[in-house]
Structure 1
Amino acid sequence: MATQQTTTAGRLLVAPSVILLFLWMIVPLVMTIYFSTLHFILTDPDSRSFIGLQNYIDFLSDPDFLGALRNTLVLVGSVLVISVVGGTLVALLMDQQIYGQSIVRLMVIAPFFVMPTVSALIWKNMLMNPVSGLFAWLAQSVGLTPIDWFTNAPMLSVILIVSWQWLPFASLIMLTALQSLDEEQKEAAALDGVGAIPFFFYIVLPHIARAMTVVILIETIFLLSVFAEIYVTTNGGPSTTNIPFLVYELAQHSYDVGGASAGGIVAVVLANIVAFFLVRVVGKNLEN
């Protein structure tokens, strides 16, 4: 009886926060779904009318949608490859005993705590500027012509910026997994004369496979909503416009609330589909 009373009291204490969180999530979603069924242009509010699924049809049939979807997949896939592979290599380096190890780890992890807008501005004005940027100075130092990154290689520029932000996260997770590797396995491999490459592929890689799947899952969910880096650096364009930026253009440039709401729902559905399959993959990996 006392246990039931304790459970009931605990639920009553938690209920306000759960209800508030539920409303905070559900109310915007319901409003977005409602607006997505309307013809609603901010510059002509009197013309608001119910049109059903027409906004979804228009958004999915928009010629820019396929390009935005392709750019989204290229951005997510490229950043995942760079962050997972690079994060593994950085984690292997940080796992070695070196002088000032704690300071090195702090410096490696630091970029993850920089705001996306700030990091994009730093890369745009201090590193990739074709006139006064660091990369331009390095190119001129060896007699090469500086590259106008955001004109000649806009998608590559955004990929590098986003990868720089997420590489520390992957490195931290991989390092945590590496440090949990059994020391007896390392000693046994050393006694058997196992080389560095076989040791990595047959012992280290299977051990950190779970950490890799977690990194891929978390990063994918966040990378599907990349916006600030594109807005600050290239301001969209055929080469870098992803789905979130396409929704932004509908809302801010066309003032099409209905179309932007439909695009937002499509983006949420796509993100949930990707997350669903990734969760299944992660679950199977953790079970194994």
Structure 2
Amino acid sequence: MTSSLAKVGFGVFKPKDSRAPRTGALLAPAVGLLLIWMIVPLTMTLWFSFQRYNLQNPLISGFAGFNNYKFLLLYKTLWISIGNTLVLVGSVLSLTIVFGVLFAVVFDEAFFGRNIARLLVIAPFFVMPTVSALIWKNLLMHPVNGLFAWITRSLGLGVVDWFAQAPMISIIIIVAWQWIPFASLILMTAMQSLDREQMEAAYLDGARGLSMFWFITLPHLFRPISVVVMIETIFLLAVFAEILVTTSGGPGNATTTLTYLIYLKALLQWDVGGASAAGVIAIILANVVAAFLIRTVARNLAD
């Protein structure tokens, strides 16, 4: 009876092929490699964060307990760097979302030269951070030879020394210029799936301009905007090259972020223990932000 049913095609009665490889066995090497890749650096960072380990004075060593963390928590620069990091991430996210939505809506309409305009908008994303920072520092924002200085002098206005008078704004502009193309690309792609029949129906019902954008286009972009925010935040928390090339964390601590503070502790002060403790704090901050963003994205995807 079983053999006859199997011949008819009832898969439930087909014998299991014992020679078929198990998925778990195939994935085990890759998963094991990823675990080693993540756990080993994290374990070493945790270990060094509890050690007295300064390369300038190798004679002082041993277990430090929570002294590295206590010093950092009482270190005013740590809280300034955390504040600068949040300001940088929040400002760049706001600019990239606003301009990304703007470009997505504009380039969704047909006009002469649209493909070239799209290419020009997306192009800055492919410029390396160091090159981008040098372009803005020497060609655009330089107080003597920069393009902005030439424009303001031509108009009879004063010259702005961007990296001395408005350092954080300068960093925000540079980083936003790099990440606006990413948001624009994702949101322009999302605009392609917008239901045109729904837009036509709304137009027949009297929706125009701002009301069409507010009630039709923007709700459609909520999900891709959530994805853009999550992806960008992961990378913006680690912004480093733009700060190193332009302001070096200054003037004072005006542009010192948590990532740059770790660099200062590890490679300029040679304080491996303190830098490791700052790294653990950065990991905690990144996980808190990531957990909040993942919940937000999951809520938007569930709607």
Q: Residue 53 of structure 2: SS of its match in structure 1?
A: strand
- 2:217 is the alignment partner of 1:204: yes
Give the Å deviation of 1:3: 5.8
**Alpha-carbon distance in 2 for matches of 1:167, 1:255:** 36
Q: Residue 208 of structure 1: SS of its match in structure 2?
A: helix
Match of 1:147 among 160, 176, 183: 160
1:195-274 paired onto structure 2 within 5 Å = 195-237=208-250, 238-274=253-289
**Alpha-carbon distance in 2 for matches of 1:45, 1:55:** 16
Distance 1:3 1:166, change over 3 A: farther
- 2:185 is the alignment partner of 1:158: no
Give the Å deviation of 1:187: 1.2
**Alpha-carbon distance in 1 for matches of 2:58, 2:228:** 44
Q: Residue 60 of structure 2: SS of its match in structure 1?
A: strand
Distance 1:51 1:90, change over 3 A: same
**Alpha-carbon distance in 2 for matches of 1:69, 1:207:** 34
Counterpart residue identity of residue 125, structure 2 = F
Match of 1:31 among 44, 51, 55: 44
**Alpha-carbon distance in 2 for matches of 1:149, 1:208:** 34
**Alpha-carbon distance in 2 for matches of 1:34, 1:171:** 42
**Alpha-carbon distance in 2 for matches of 1:37, 1:267:** 16
Partner of 2:11: none
Partner of 1:6: 20
Counterpart residue identity of residue 101, structure 1 = R
Partner of 2:184: 171
Distance 1:4 1:131, change over 3 A: farther
Distance 1:236 1:7, change over 3 A: same
Match of 1:76 among 72, 89, 100: 89
Match of 2:297 among 263, 267, 282: 282
Partner of 2:7: none
**Alpha-carbon distance in 2 for matches of 1:142, 1:149:** 18
Distance 1:107 1:40, change over 3 A: same
Partner of 2:4: none
Give the Å deviation of 1:254: 1.5
Q: Residue 151 of structure 1: SS of its match in structure 2?
A: helix
Distance 1:53 1:2, change over 3 A: farther
**Alpha-carbon distance in 2 for matches of 1:7, 1:280:** 36
Give the Å deviation of 1:29: 1.0
Map Cα deviations across residues 225-278 of structure 1 (whole Å, 9 max, x no partner): 111111110001221001111111111221100000010111011001110011
Aligned-pair identity (%): 54
Give the Å deviation of 1:5: 4.4
Counterpart residue identity of residue 181, structure 1 = L
Q: Residue 50 of structure 1: SS of its match in structure 2?
A: coil
**Alpha-carbon distance in 2 for matches of 1:219, 1:89:** 18
Counterpart residue identity of residue 187, structure 1 = E
Give the Å deviation of 1:102: 2.2
Partner of 2:121: 108
Partner of 1:98: 111
The runs of 5 or more residues in structure 1 that have no matched partner are none
**Alpha-carbon distance in 2 for matches of 1:119, 1:259:** 31
Structure 1 consecutive aligned stretches of length 4 or more whose deviation exceeds 4 Å: 1-5
Distance 1:193 1:57, change over 3 A: same
Counterpart residue identity of residue 287, structure 1 = A
Q: Is the radius of gyration larger for structure 1 or structure 2?
A: 2
Q: Which moved more, 1:45-54 or 1:252-261?
A: 45-54
How many equivalent pairs are there? Answer: 287
**Alpha-carbon distance in 1 for matches of 2:201, 2:50:** 64
Partner of 2:131: 118
**Alpha-carbon distance in 2 for matches of 1:26, 1:197:** 50
TM-score, reference length from structure 1: 0.95
